[in-house]
Amino acid sequence: MLILGSGGLALQLIDEFEKAFAEQLVFWNDSGPEENIITRKYPLISTDAGVKEHFEKNGPDFIIAIGGVHNREKLLARFESLGGSAQTFIASSASVSKYSTMEKGVLISTNAILEAGVSVGLATLINTSAVITHECTIGNYNEIAPMATFGGKAVTGDFVFIGLNATVLPKIRIGAHCTVGAGAVVAKDAASYTTIKGVPAK
């Protein structure tokens, strides 16, 4: 399996990747990563030609283990143009209802919870211990930081970042391209292209 990234998020999930793929892992990073556990142990690809060769020999599947709402969009498009097929990855410790749905390229990290009726858009990242309660709709290319919590039927647009330990109350709607600060409590709908922070969030 080709894992995009060899730093923070990939390190966070390395144990999960090894369990899922029996250590048959190859990592991609074209920005010269610092030496770490991954780069000492696993092959690293850094060029488009290397990616194409990998896909031809080993199959097209890849996982996006890099954060950033716009990064995830660009990586999905780039690696599909190289012949890849984005896969959804759900950590073994996550709890995901069989009545939830998700598009390709989603990554659900350790101890995250997705309840029944949750819908998750393209290449969205649900990070460690985030809680997405029933019937929420999470847009494309979102990043939900660790320990963020959504009340039932909350909705986000595309390219939304929800900060560490933020809370989105039930039925709240957050527009596209919004940023919600760490620890914020979102109690009112938010228009697109806004930054929201504080308790209650403004």
Q: What is the pLDDT of residue 39?
A: 92
Q: What is the pLDDT of residue 136?
A: 98
Nearest to 104 by CA among 128, 129, 132, 73: 73
Domain 88-193 coded CATH 3.10.105.10:
no
pLDDT per residue as tens digits for the range 101-129: 999 999 999 999 999 999 999 999 999 99
Residue with tokens 């199959």: 59
The 3-class SS string of 124-191 reads: CEECCCCEECCCCEECCCCEECCCCEECCCCEECCCCEECCCCEECCCCEECCCCEECCCCEECCCEC
Residue range(s) of every CATH 3.40.50.20 domain in the chain:
2-87
pLDDT per residue as tens digits for the range 59-83: 999 999 999 999 999 999 999 999 9
Q: Given pLDDT bands bounded at 50, 70 and 90, which one contains residue 57?
A: very high
Contact 191, 175 (CB under 8 A): yes
Architecture of domain 2-87: 3-Layer(aba) Sandwich (3.40)
- Average pLDDT estimate for 77-106: 97
- Better-scored residue on pLDDT, 202 or 126: 126
From residue 30, alpha-carbon distances to 83, 98, 121 in Å are: 18, 36, 26
Q: What is the pLDDT of residue 22?
A: 85
Q: What is the pLDDT of residue 32?
A: 74
Q: What is the pLDDT of residue 19?
A: 95
Residue range(s) of every CATH 2.160.10.10 domain in the chain:
88-193
Q: Measure the CA–CA gap between 186 and 156, rounded to whole angstroms.
A: 12
Query: How would you class 60 by CB atoms within 10 Å of its CB: exposed for 0-12, middle for 13-18, buried for 19 or more?
Result: middle
- pLDDT higher than 90, residue 182: yes
pLDDT per residue as tens digits for the range 137-166: 999 999 999 999 999 999 999 999 999 999
pLDDT per residue as tens digits for the range 9-52: 999 999 999 999 987 999 999 887 678 999 999 999 999 999 99
